[in-house]
């Protein structure tokens, strides 16, 4: 199965009036998310996508844009993505089947990628990491990484 890790796009800074949970995506952040979401849509080729997102505003907005660009079966908010425990996510959210997207925050996504695929990368804003994940072996391999800077997905022959 494809296990997809997406980091939220650029967000407004935290201030006294804007708590961390309520930080919204900037105009540039929305553009970043749309760019990588379209790359993922081309990669998935209309396979239905299940989406789980952190309940923070910026990840909710990111997940909403992702669901607009991809063929989404549903969007669910969960505090599980704020715990930093990949095995807990694996036990509660991941099931065999079609692609599953987890929309969250750094440093949790970095930790999840390391545990799921041994990929020691620091996800960029609005980046998408696709892991081909084997539920039986509880391990996977990073097979694609999309960032807003890529702009184009190279066509395969």
User: At residue 155, does pLDDT exceed 80?
Assistant: no
User: At residue 154, does pLDDT exceed 70?
Assistant: no
In a domain, 157, yes or no: no
User: Partners of 146 in the beta sheet?
Assistant: 128
pLDDT of residue 151: 67
Structure tokens at 57: 């505003």
In a domain, 152, yes or no: no
Distance CA 148, CA 31 (A): 8
User: At residue 150, does pLDDT exceed 60?
Assistant: yes
- Residues 132-145 pLDDT 10s: 999 888 899 999 99
pLDDT of residue 83: 86
Query: Which structural domain range is residue 133 located in?
Result: 2-10+22-146
In a domain, 153, yes or no: no
Structure tokens at 23: 């930080």
Within 8 A by CB and 6+ apart from 22, the residues are 56, 57
**What's the whole-number mean pLDDT along residues 12-27?**
96
In a domain, 15, yes or no: no
pLDDT of residue 152: 55
**CATH number of the domain that residue 80 is part of:** 3.40.50.1240
Backbone angles phi, psi at 4, to 5 degrees: -115, 130
In a domain, 63, yes or no: yes
pLDDT of residue 136: 86
**What's the whole-number mean pLDDT along residues 11-15?**
96
Kindly indicate the confidence band of residue 157, based on its pLDDT and cuts at 50, 70 and 90: very low
Domain count, the chain: 1
Distance CA 70, CA 42 (A): 9
| Helix 57-69 vs helix 27-44: crossing angle, to nearest 10 | 40
In a domain, 131, yes or no: yes
Kindly indicate the confidence band of residue 84, based on its pLDDT and cuts at 50, 70 and 90: confident
Q: Where are the alpha helices (DSSP H) in the chain?
A: 27-44, 57-69, 86-92, 108-117
> Pick from 43, 92, 95: which is nearest to 66 by CA?
43
In a domain, 49, yes or no: yes
> Pick from 80, 152, 106, 133: which is nearest to 6 by CA?
106
In a domain, 140, yes or no: yes
- Residues 106-123 pLDDT 10s: 999 999 999 999 988 899
């Amino acid at each position: 199965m494809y296990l997809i890790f997406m980091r939220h796009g650029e967000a407004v800074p935290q201030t006294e009036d804007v708590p961390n949970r309520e930080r919204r995506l900037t105009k540039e952040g929305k553009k970043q998310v749309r760019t990588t979401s379209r790359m993922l849509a081309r990669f998935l080729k209309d396979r239905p996508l299940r989406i789980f997102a952190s309940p923070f505003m910026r990840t909710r907005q990111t997940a909403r844009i992702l669901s607009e660009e991809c063929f989404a079966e549903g969007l669910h908010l969960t505090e599980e993505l704020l715990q930093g425990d990949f095995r807990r996510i694996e036990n509660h959210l991941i099931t065999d089947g079609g692609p599953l997207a987890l929309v969250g925050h750094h440093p949790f996504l970095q930790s999840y990628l390391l545990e799921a695929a041994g990929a020691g990368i620091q996800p960029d804003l609005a980046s998408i990491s696709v892991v081909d994940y084997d539920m039986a072996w509880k391990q996977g391999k990073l097979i694609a990484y999309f960032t807003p800077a890529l702009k184009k997905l190279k066509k395969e022959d």
